[in-house]
Amino acid sequence: MTAAPRTLEGVDGLRLDAAAPDDAEAVLRVFADDPDVVRYVAWRPRTTHDQAERFLTVLRDDWRQDRWFWFARRDGEVAGGIIAAREGDEVEVSYVVARDAWGQGVATAMVNLVCSWALAALPIRCVRACADAENLASRRVLEKAGFSLVAELPAFGVHNISPAPRDCVRYERR
């Protein structure tokens, strides 16, 4: 198990903070209020306060198992979240951005912060990420963050957009 920083400081007022017990309202606002925000994620949105609190408990428990989640905060407001999971000599990242923060560089900043930490602090080969092949915004984020496309994965992932497996792409940053 690896110790991860509870906070990662970014630029332009962006800061990544580990989820706290009182973040249930942020979970609901960012992940439940807008189906388009969670359209390409594999987990179902949390729609009640109780579900959000259980989600936060899982995130805190995962912290002890080389799975780390941070909320992205800009000027104190939650703008998104990113999870990093260590698997052998790789770390996989996935992220979601609140609709009101789309197009403001939040996703790219989150990915860059976590990648910089992981590649410097962990004995890993690379950071990887998968995206739905049609999620062009996420693909652009990864490319702007220095990732390279390494594989096309037919019928690989199931997301909220469809119950059927969808084509995905895999990116890596070394």
Tell me the per-residue pLDDT of 105-140, one tens digit each, with 9 for 90 and over. 999 999 999 999 999 999 999 999 999 999 999 999
Q: Looking at residue 48, what DSSP letter applies?
A: S
Q: Alpha-carbon distance 93 to 101, whole Å?
A: 19
> One-letter amino acid identity for 82?
I
Q: Does the pLDDT of residue 33 top 70, yes or no?
A: no
Q: Alpha-carbon distance 20 to 84, whole Å?
A: 17
Q: Which residues pair with 71 in a beta bridge?
A: 17, 81
> What is the pTM (predicted TM-score) of this model?
0.92
Pick the CATH number of 7-127 from 1.10.260.40, 3.40.630.30, 3.40.1190.20, 3.40.50.1110: 3.40.630.30
Average pLDDT of the residues of the chain: 90
